[in-house]
Structure 1
């Protein structure tokens, strides 16, 4: 047995000794009588957006319930001003900080802890010290399945999309989970109908899923011929700023003048406002795709493999077109730079044109 497994086994013993004093399974809870719930999601932006339908389902079922969000500081700008969240606490991924925040939460006597996406054991330690009677967790497909016996109910991911798994989790409390619509938690500047603005994200969480610069250049050229008035807006993280240089280098001066480079230059609030005012966003599977979904902005998204568990938009199918590299090549590893290179540029252009029309 590895040292990690030994540590988790020992930790599980102590957590269960502590929790067994007042554990309650979700089927024995009358959610309408629950006063305080802690919802935990301290992962990336997209992962938080995936749980927004479940958060709304909780508040719709019991408008007077107090929802306290436990998340990371990097999500602060994302959830400020959310109408469904009554309070926010922040936690780092460390045992010391999880104990600190758990003891702080214990002062408000939360009855229920719901972990949508967070790294174990820190999330479960925090909820144990918070003293919740019922603890339920969604384990993502690629997450280590540790401390399961410390939870009162779980949903194991890896088969269905995260939005559906999060709804299944709160569904165990008897709340209505029919609505899969994500929302953007913070206030965002309203949509504008001025001009044709196409967003392009070149980067992704891994270089093998980047939107290849040479393909993006061909898309810009083709779209510009049919919609000469359009502007193209590049978005992405600061560490992707070099990608814009590659795109500028692949275009002539006339087309380069149509490009506005926002990569690494916006706050999260500014990024959301940009996406809200795009006519359409072309992007790989990224947090920006999920922002666009939550804001009901049209998208053309590029995925490597078609699979049931993928994080493709689960709402507004008329707004979102998805192209899969695996539909064009049986072996998706066809390029040293990106697995998306097997998607024909013509199909990306056609999907974007449909969205613009």
Structure 2
């Protein structure tokens, strides 16, 4: 691989997608230790990015302004100041193509699945992992250019301070002992496990004596309130919409087990190598699920019956797909996992 001196990575959203691109960042830093690496991202997802020595600068992209000539001119000047040797568009969409075009990079590459005309700006690179997990597809851009990928690593920001903050909050709330982290929401409604199922499951866990904390963004507040309304157990705590992204990461990192459907925080748990249970229906875990699949012993994937039968991506025409995963399915998996954790 060339000894690039100035590299731009374009991966602006969403939370899980940004996390999926972190191993490529790690590989680029390993292959180009002296490069100045800049990441272009939407500001609300920037908190999961590590600082130095992996990333030297972050450029925030306002998607709502990408049709503004004045904003594009401003962005052109910002990006050109870095004199990029190369740009890696790992988004592969029209919005990322605009950023790649404005970057002024001498070389522009993307992974093979370039959509919405982005292939007209950046050259899609096809490697040996074309049909594998999206993390490997991104890493193929490094491999095809002659770089070495010795391992799949997730460089993450330091969250030591946030761990202290969350421990104090847990203590003040009266929570003593270990807990599991549950995220009841998802970006797409079709990917969500039914709320009544979550309530039933959380009550089973709490009745068995384990603390449960509910996590999620502001969009999950209503879900958290509904679960709380359906429980009488004092060892269930609602933090939906009540944490920063770093605090959410800290809470997940300290949990005994993490459980959710296919949503951004799931990939935080995966990056942290946290014992996790992932519920999948309309999306394919082999492509976008926790990296390592079930070959890593800390990953436990539960598929809906439709997903097992078809393995299509996505199964958006089956709104009842997630309801096929029963509470008993999740409970049985959880009891086996928590037994292992306590051993």
TM-score tier, shorter chain, comes to 0.7 to 0.9
CA apart distance, 1:139: 6.0
Separation of aligned partners in 2, 1:233 and 1:308:
25
- State the match for 2:172 in structure 1: none
Relative distance call for 1:207 and 1:308 in structure 2 (3 A) is closer
Relative distance call for 1:327 and 1:115 in structure 2 (3 A) is same
CA apart distance, 1:330: 5.2
Separation of aligned partners in 1, 2:132 and 2:58:
28
Which structure has the greater CA radius of gyration? 1
User: Pick from 232, 248, 251: which aligns with 1:274?
Assistant: 251
- State the match for 1:25 in structure 2: none
Report the number of matched residues: 316
**Structure ranking higher on relative contact order (CA contacts 8 Å, 6+ apart):** 1
> Does 2:83 match 1:130?
no
Gaps of 5+ in 2: 168-175
Are the equivalent residues in 1 in contact too, given 2:281–2:307 (CA < 8 A)? no
- State the match for 1:12 in structure 2: none
Are the equivalent residues in 2 in contact too, given 1:290–1:313 (CA < 8 A)? yes
Moved over 4 A (4+): 155-158, 327-336
Separation of aligned partners in 1, 2:49 and 2:29:
15
CA apart distance, 1:353: 1.9
Moved more, 86-95 or 46-55: 86-95
Gaps of 5+ in 1: 1-29
- State the match for 2:83 in structure 1: 109
Relative distance call for 1:339 and 1:282 in structure 2 (3 A) is same
Separation of aligned partners in 2, 1:244 and 1:308:
25
Separation of aligned partners in 2, 1:128 and 1:307:
32
- TM-score for both structures, normalised by structure 1: 0.79
User: Pick from 293, 297, 303: which aligns with 1:318?
Assistant: 297
- TM-score for both structures, normalised by structure 2: 0.82
Separation of aligned partners in 1, 2:217 and 2:224:
11
Question: Match of 1:204, SS?
Answer: coil
What do you get for the CA RMSD once the two structures are aligned?
A: 2.8
User: Pick from 166, 184, 197: which aligns with 1:215?
Assistant: 197
CA apart distance, 1:188: 1.5
Separation of aligned partners in 2, 1:329 and 1:168:
28
> Does 2:245 match 1:245?
no
After TM superposition, the structure 1 = structure 2 runs for residues 162-177 of structure 1, keeping only pairs within 5 Å, are 162-177=134-149
Question: Match of 1:260, SS?
Answer: strand
> Does 2:40 match 1:70?
yes
